[in-house]
Amino acid sequence: MSGTVLDHWLVRGYLRELDAVMRGLPAAQARELREQITAHLDDALRPDADDYEVAATLSRLGSPADLAAEAGAASGSPGPRSTLSGWRLATVIAVPMVIAAVLGGQQISSDARTAVTFGRDQHLAQLNAAVVRLTQNLEDERDLSAGYVAHGKAGPVPVTLADARTATDAAARAVQADAAGVGAGYQPGTVQDLKSLLTSLTDLGDIRTAMSSRAWPASQVIQVYTDNVIGPVITFSAAVGAGTDDTRLQVTVTTLAALLGVENDLSVQRAVLYAALSAQPPKLLPPGLTSLTQAAQQQQADQIDFNASADTAEQQFFSNTVSGSAVDRASMQETLAEAAATANPQAPLTRNTGLDAATWYGDMSTTIDDTRKVTDQAAGQITARANTLKSNATRRLLLTSIITLLLLVLLFVTALARPLRKLVNQSGRRSVILGRG
Amino acid sequence: MAGEGGLTELRRGVLGPCVLALLELRPRFGLELVRDLAAADGLLTSDGTVYPLLSRLRDAGLVTSEWRDDEGERARRYYSITEAGRQSLTAFRADWAWFSATVGGVLNHAAVHAGTEEKGGHQ
């Protein structure tokens, strides 16, 4: 016969609760009270008592919390109420809060790092936009300089060249201003490339002086500008995407680098032929012809790079933008010049070809300007993307901080609510076991 | 709520002597005590509170307990009053008589006093 009322589900629940609330009492006292209560129930209830009888008896007995409190008050022991002040307080309040604080803190710090990284990307994108403008101004200055030198430096520096130099200087100042602050925390390679760019800008004055005072041929002017200044500038622009975690940003930077290559290749072609047509007499000698065809080949290679990284819409935009009669005319003039120079390098280039320095420069400039529209769009996309990433990261950081804070407050409040509810229960309210039937 | 709390405090104070008074007649086991106390209307707020009280009285030396294994019955812990318990009970009886008389007197006097003030104001 296992028939004892102590196996009744209501009694078991009651005793379990009693054991729980007596955890703060001395062991002997808890044992005694439990023994008294089980004896009471054994005496008071038949083994086959129904739920209602059991519930009524338990209800008359009073809540386990009341009993434990009474026993605690009797012994002068801390009692169940104040067990929360010891190590249980730590488990109930401190541990979850510490865990929440640590996890939240980790997330915040990770988000903060992301925000800082995207902040750097944003800074670099802004700097890059200035660098793209500088590249374009440098190309113009180089090409006009080549023509001026080829023309025999007759007379003062032409207004167009002077204007180009002024524009370059303004763009260089903008780059120098935006470059401030790029250093610690940025990709070392990017920092190094920026340093090279800034150093090359200080060479610009020397190049201009040397061009006037020394007997540099046009080809050397083109080479010095390209290798010493424009090269480092384009290299930096390609390095802007090196540190970013965002694939879209990286791809757009690659696209832009290819476009800057195309643009510069076109510009070199403009410079070489412009110098040849500006020479007295106009001639495209074999080294010049080689430079021209090399630049055209490089343009094809860069165009392939562009197609590889640009999406269909960007490719479409390129072919729609870099087109028109001026573009076709420039292409025709170049083919014509190459054919004439190949046939007879010594013959004046303008004879029987209809070629002329100003027309060539104008038509090729239109082609280059069209390309720059595509370049500018890519640079704009980079800036926009970087701005979006930065503001998203900042918003996320803010959100994580707020959520963590709310979580901590919530944990604190719920942790306090339990002991408070206990206090309320102990000061008179009975647990209504009857309500469960 | 204040009245309820006051009554609880009063019960807490007199329950011990009442237990002693019951044990003075004969030893009893837990449920027996609880039933006898519950029979006195309004003395117990909850049955369970008797048990910590019994432990307290035992710790104070006013009550002892022993297991009794009567034939045909289960083993039960019986509580009986000690000599110190009897003395304590005697002392309480004297105190209670004086205390209830004093409190009753003050309460009645106050009620009478309040009645005259309402009618005639200050004398």
List, for residues B26-38, the tens digit of each pLDDT value. Answer: 999 999 999 888 8
Q: % helix / strand / coil in chain A, to the nearest 5?
A: 80, 0, 20
Judged by DSSP in three states, A324 sits in coil
Q: Is B6 on the interface with A (CB under 8 A)?
A: no
Structure confidence at residue B113 (pLDDT):
63
Residue with tokens 């004398």, as numbered in its chain: B123
Q: Is A47 on the interface with B (CB under 8 A)?
A: no
Structure confidence at residue B75 (pLDDT):
83
Q: Is A6 on the interface with B (CB under 8 A)?
A: no
**B48 to chain A, minimum CA–CA distance in Å?**
4
Q: Radius of gyration (Cα) for chain B, nearest Å?
A: 19
Nearest residue in B to A62, CA atom: B46
pLDDT tens per residue across span B61-93: 999 999 888 777 778 899 999 999 999 999 999
CB contact under 8 A, A32 and B55: yes
Q: Which of A39, A57, A430 sits opposite B30 (nearest CB)?
A: A39
Q: Which of A247, A227, A27, A3 is nearest to A121 (CA)?
A: A247
Q: Which of A39, A61, A428 sits opposite B48 (nearest CB)?
A: A61
Chain B, window 39-98: residues with a beta carbon less than 8 angstroms from a chain A beta carbon: 45-49, 51-56, 59, 74, 76-77
Element of type H or E holding A346: none
- The ranges assigned to domains in chain A are 5-80, 116-399
Residue A50 and residue A437 in contact, taking contact as beta carbons nearer than 8 Å:
no
Structure confidence at residue A361 (pLDDT):
95
Residue A257 and residue A234 in contact, taking contact as beta carbons nearer than 8 Å:
yes
Nearest residue in B to A66, CA atom: B49
Structure confidence at residue A37 (pLDDT):
92
Better-predicted residue by pLDDT, A351 or B19: B19
Cα gap A106→A99, rounded to integer Å? 11
Nearest residue in B to A44, CA atom: B31
Residue B58 and residue B65 in contact, taking contact as beta carbons nearer than 8 Å:
yes
Q: Which of B1, B46, B53 sits opposite A61 (nearest CB)?
A: B46
CB contact under 8 A, A74 and B52: yes
Structure confidence at residue A434 (pLDDT):
39
Q: Is A230 on the interface with B (CB under 8 A)?
A: no
Regions in chain A scoring below 70 on pLDDT: 1-2, 73-93, 154, 418-419, 421-437
Categorize the per-residue pLDDT at B4 as very low, low, confident or very high, splitting at 50, 70 and 90.
low
Type of residue numbered A197: L
Q: How many CB pairs under 8 A join A and B?
A: 71
Nearest residue in B to A431, CA atom: B46
Cα gap A278→A105, rounded to integer Å? 67
Chain A, window 326-365: residues with a beta carbon less than 8 angstroms from a chain B beta carbon: none
Reported ipTM: 0.80
Residue with tokens 């004879």, as numbered in its chain: A351
Q: Which of A33, A57, A428 sits opposite B52 (nearest CB)?
A: A33
Q: Residue A51, class by beta-carbon neighbours within 10 Å (0-12 exposed, 13-18 middle, 19+ buried)?
A: middle
- Calculated CA dihedral for residues A78, A81, A82, A88, nearest 10 degrees: 120
Residue A21 and residue A68 in contact, taking contact as beta carbons nearer than 8 Å:
yes
Cα gap A153→A57, rounded to integer Å? 117
Q: Is A29 on the interface with B (CB under 8 A)?
A: yes
Neighbours of B28 (CB within 10 A): 18
**A20 to chain B, minimum CA–CA distance in Å?**
16
Structure confidence at residue A432 (pLDDT):
40
